[in-house]
Amino acid sequence: MSSTRARESTGTESGSRGIDPRGPRFAAAVTSVVLAVAVLTGSVWVLAFQVLVFAVAAVAGLQYSPYGWAYRTLVRPRLGPPAELEDPAPPRFAQAVGLVVTGVGLVFALAGAGLAVEVAAGLAFVAAILNAAVGLCLGCELYLLIARLRAPRPA
């Protein structure tokens, strides 16, 4: 849980469980393009496609996402090995947050609500482009806030 020694946490412990951190960044970049197209076209199909991608990555794992696959087969072979590996839990949680936001939008859109596609895609677009451009994961940072709101305050 708490490590007070620097040696332990220099990134050498990642071993087999770590993933290349550039994979989720690449996936976030593709995600922002897809969501931008959804905002531009208002197409329910484009949004539905992204909902499906989020669902696969969040439920089955990042390695099963088509964007993850594209990174491994098209991008990764052209790059050097990663400087350090990363825990897959945070980016996977971020996919779940994306799934909730776009999924709710999709449900509203299918129910006939106007601008549901644009609003949901727009919100998810901001989160995705922040992740792609500066490596910031909004959903991960606000996880604590969600946990605080969910757990009842002791009397």
Partner 1 sequence: MLRGDVDSLLLRALALVGLILVSALVAVVLKRRAGRLRPVVDGDVLAAADLGRPLGAEVTFVQFSTRTCTSCRTVRRVLGEQVAGAPGAAHVEVDAEDRLDLARRLGILRTPTVVVLDGTGRVTGRFSGVPTPHQVRDAVPHAGIPGR
Quote the tokens at residue 38: 């959804």
Distance, in Å, from the CA atom of 138 to the CA atom of 94, rounded to the nearest integer, reads 8
- How many residues in the shown chain lie near partner 1 by CB under 8 A? 45
> From the CB of 134, what's the least distance to partner 1, in Å?
5
Judged by CB under 8 A, does residue 90 bind partner 1?
A: yes
> SS3 letters for 22-55?
HHHHHHHHHHHHHHHHHHHHCCHHHHHHHHHHHH
Find the binder of partner 1 among 33, 59, 89, 113 (CB under 8 A). Answer: 89
Applying CB under 8 A, the residues found at the interface with partner 1 are 1-6, 8-11, 36, 39-42, 86-87, 89-91, 93-94, 118, 122, 125-126, 129-130, 133-137, 139-145, 147-148, 151, 153-154
